[in-house]
Amino acid sequence: MDNFSLEIIWRDECEDLIELKIEVATEFVTMYQYCYISSVELINNMRSIRLHLEKQSKTSITFGQMTGQYTPSFSMLLYPKKANDDMLVELDLEIADNDERKHRCQLYVKSKADFWRSFSINVEEMVGKNTLSKSTLFPY
């Protein structure tokens, strides 16, 4: 089964800055990436996932800045869930192997909508605890 996780590697409470490790595993590829994000932005992104599940429209969520001279970023394109609760999420991760930020990896994560709901709540709680921890989409 496809899986996705977010792990807080480091945080600066004074600047409200989190170093986030993004890991994704599918049938075809396993990869990870780091990006920097504020706790407020991360919580808002998790709330956007839950809002998407309520409204059922195609939703795009960006973590960090996708262009310019910034640290690596990534985005998620959430598709409406199907009647059987299956949900497709397209990830766009940056491969930080050059200064032009032109290499990216796009892939799909297939899962259940309820897993995404639980995941978003767990990430929000993880941010609130002020600890270094990890939240996984499919915990088994």
Quote the CA–CA distance of 105 and 67 in Å, as a whole number: 15
- Please compute the mean of the pLDDT values over residues 17-38 and round it to a whole number: 91
Q: Is residue 53's pLDDT more than 90?
A: yes
Tell me: pLDDT of 26 over 80.
Answer: yes
Domain enclosing residue 85, as ranges: 39-130
How many domains, in total, are found in the chain?
1
37 phi and psi angles, rounded to 5 deg: -155, 150
Parallel, antiparallel or unpaired: strands 74-78 and 86-94: antiparallel
Is residue 98 over pLDDT 90? Answer: no
Is residue 53 within 8 A of residue 61, CB to CB? The reply is no
CATH of the domain at 48: 3.10.450
| Band of pLDDT at residue 62, cut at 50, 70 and 90 | confident
pLDDT at position 15 is 85
* Residues ≥6 apart with Cβ < 8 Å to 128: none
Residue 10 belongs to some domain of the structure: no
Average of per-residue pLDDT values in the chain: 88
Residue 80 lies in a domain: yes
Q: Look at residue 83 and tell me if it is in a domain.
A: yes
| Residue 94 included in any domain | yes
The answer as to whether 139 is a domain residue is no
C-alpha 74/C-alpha 22 separation (Å) is 9
Report how far residue 16's alpha carbon sits from residue 97's, in angstroms, rounded to the nearest whole number. 27
Instruction: Please tell me the predicted confidence (pLDDT) of residue 19.
Output: 92
Q: Is residue 19 part of a domain?
A: no
Which carries the bigger pLDDT value, residue 85 or residue 95? 85
Residue 53 falls inside a structural domain: yes
DSSP H or E run through 77 = strand 74-78
pTM: 0.88
